[in-house]
Structure 1
Amino acid sequence: MSQDFLYKAILGSIVSEKSTRIGEKNNQYVFRVVPEATKEDVKAAVELLFKVKVKGVQMLNLKGKQKRNGRFPGKRNDVRKAYVCLEEGQEINFAEVK
């Protein structure tokens, strides 16, 4: 696993009501990741990018919904999410991240 892949493994953070509630309750953060990323890749990427200790990672594959665009059928993209649990006393401040 190269350092270039670790920088590209995390596509962005997910900010929603559910992710905020999970973050406050369980000290977890939710990220969109590339489909090829494994738990170990996500753990290494978060520790490298945010300088925190990761306790555990849970992965989720979310299938895209079938939608229509006028009379033409279509499909939204599939999404892979990573729920990252941090060690006690650790937190990520997204305002300070470049």
Structure 2
Amino acid sequence: MNKSRLYSIIKGVLISEKTTRINAFNTYAFSVLPNADKTEIKKAVEEIFKVKVKSVCTLNVQGKMKATGRHLGRRQDWKKAYVTLMPGQSLDSTNLQGE
């Protein structure tokens, strides 16, 4: 697989109340490309963060309808990936910066 493709799959790390709770279970949330599959996400996380991945769960998030004054708009749909690491592996704040 092309290295530039691997580095473009992971858009960013998601940080929220829920993601900080699941970090206790060695699981991290990422925003990923909508056309990326689980094997590509696994390879990308292993390559970028130098960790071993146990499993990947993905879900498509539907964009919300938003009103700006009289006009209605819609946010863009996006894809979220929950990545569980092998026991003993972790992502600390220095790993989350990427390379």
Band the TM-score falls in, shorter-chain normalisation: over 0.9
Q: Superposition RMSD on alpha carbons, in Å?
A: 1.0
Matched, 1:15 2:11: no
Q: Which residue of 1 aligns with 2:73?
A: 74
Q: Which residue of 2 aligns with 1:52?
A: 51
Per-residue displacement from partner, 1:17-44 (whole Å, max 9, x unpaired)? 00010111x2100000010110000000
> In structure 2, what is the Cα distance between the partners aligned to 1:16 and 1:51?
23
Deviation at 1:4, TM superposition (A): 1.0
TM-score by length of 1: 0.94
Percent of pairs identical after alignment?
47
Per-residue displacement from partner, 1:63-95 (whole Å, max 9, x unpaired)? 011111110110111120000000000001232
Structure 2 unaligned segments of length 5 or more: list them.
Answer: none
TM-score by length of 2: 0.93
Q: Which residue of 2 aligns with 1:84?
A: 83
Deviation at 1:3, TM superposition (A): 1.3
> In structure 2, what is the Cα distance between the partners aligned to 1:94 and 1:62?
26
> In structure 2, what is the Cα distance between the partners aligned to 1:84 and 1:18?
14
Per-residue displacement from partner, 1:32-59 (whole Å, max 9, x unpaired)? 0010110000000000001100000000
Deviation at 1:15, TM superposition (A): 0.3
